[in-house]
Copies of this chain bind each other. A is one copy, B any other.
Amino acid sequence: MNFEYFTPTKVVFGRGAEEQTGALVKEQGGHKVLVHYGGGSVVRSGLLDVICRSLDAAGLSYVLLGGVVPNPRLSKVREGIRLCQEENVDFLLAVGGGSVIDSTKAIGYGLANEGDVWDFYDRKRKAAGCAPLGAVLTIAAAGSEMSDSSVITNEDGWIKRGYSSNYCRCRFAVMDPELTYTLPDYQTQSGCVDIMMHTMERYFNLSDNMELTDGISEALIRTVMRNARILKQNPSDYNARAEVMWASSLSHNGLTGCGTGGGDWASHQIEHELGGMFDVAHGAGLAAIWGSWARYVYREHPERFARFAEQIFGLKEDGSVEALALAGIEKMEDFYRSVGMPTNLKELGINPTEAQIQEMAEKCSFFGRRTVGVMKKLTAADVEEIYRMARG
């Protein structure tokens, strides 16, 4: 499979890396910076002060905008675009996790293009650019610090949509594993699921992958699982935080997709509707859906699931390829439970009605305009069935 690989983001990784933020913005030619963040934790931890001092030291001026929420919202993006236009901002700095970075990318699209920024997410037209941005990462999960994607929720109909292009790649990403020490366990584990899933979505497909890509992907999944268990016991284990943080970037910067032809992504699409309607943690939502998705599609390419079972869990074939494939799916659910992640919607804490399931499936299929996934091209009816299987 032919592929393109483009990861221009300059990564500065390690203890105290955030102190280089001002110098990095200056290197990129920024003068007036939007410092964009989420809740109060960035303020309380003192990180915002460190960042602002670093910008001061580099002789840069800036304006602050907080209040980005998980499953970040279009109205907040529009507020950011207006603020940047009023203040003549020329560089965007995201301080936070995927929600903050994704919102910052959306602001960047809004600044660099005429018209309504939602058009890009709604597939009405393509962006021709994005204002330059960088990130100081505080949550290892979404991989947005190196990825080409951005996911935003439109409150008008609670529609969650992603838009991807190379324009929105971060110019730099500052990653200090210590900044993730104070994350609650549920968010840490939810992040680990998201990281694993960014590689698993690429790993599960109908083609024969490159050996090198498979080997890298399997090493990454095993590493995240091992370190998720360590963080369950000791959230301040520096090495474990570092492994998970670096995995978050490599899992979604394109590396684990080289030669795969693009991956499946159905679990993500199916989860996006849960996130849009119920505001659940993205990674937890993925864990709750994945087993049902896997059981619904594994017969399309059981060898792929069997390899997964062998390489990730060390299982051996003892009977049929299908049995090995199923055993691997069960083992992954065991792992999810072992780190406190849900494996169905009940454990996720939601109980959608039949009408809500139909509505989510309709939205997921863009009201019949698309199928999702490549292992099996899922229609709205297939997606409905997966939601039902996942009820628990």
- Which residue numbers of A lie inside 8 Å of B, CB to CB? 1-8, 10-17, 210-212, 215-216, 218-220, 222-223, 226-227, 239, 242-243, 246-247, 250, 255, 258-259
Contact = CB atoms under 8 A, between A and B. Distances in A.
Given A210-B242, A215-B223, A218-B219, A13 B8 contact: no
A218 to B, nearest CB: 7
A299 B6 CA distance: 40
A159 to B, nearest CB: 33
A15 B3 CA distance: 10
Nearest to A13: B3
A331 to B, nearest CB: 19
A53 B8 CA distance: 29
10 contacts: A4-B12, A6-B11, A8-B8, A13-B258, A210-B239, A210-B243, A211-B227, A212-B220, A212-B243, A216-B216
B10 A247 contact: no
A213 to B, nearest CB: 8
A172 B226 CA distance: 36
Contacts of A17: 2
Contacts of A16: 2
What is the total number of copies of this protein in its complex? 2
Contacts of A239: 210
Contacts of A10: 4-6, 8
A223 to B, nearest CB: 5
A196 to B, nearest CB: 13
Given A212-B220, A219-B219, A255-B255, 19 more contacts: A1-B14, A2-B13, A2-B14, A2-B16, A2-B17, A4-B11, A4-B12, A7-B8, A8-B8, A8-B10, A13-B259, A210-B239, A212-B219, A212-B223, A212-B246, A215-B222, A215-B223, A216-B216, A242-B259
Contacts of A8: 7-8, 10
Nearest to A240: B211
A11 B254 CA distance: 11
Contacts of A6: 10-11
A210 B246 contact: yes
B259 A246 contact: yes
Nearest to A7: B7
A71 B275 CA distance: 57
Contacts of A243: 210-212
Contacts of A5: 10-11, 13
Nearest to A10: B6
Nearest to A15: B2
Nearest to A217: B219
A243 B218 CA distance: 16
Nearest to A11: B5
A184 to B, nearest CB: 24
Contacts of A218: 215, 219
A3 B226 CA distance: 22
A150 B144 CA distance: 32
Contacts of A219: 212, 215-216, 218-219
A258 B3 CA distance: 24
A219 B239 CA distance: 21
A246 B258 contact: yes
Nearest to A8: B8
Nearest to A258: B246
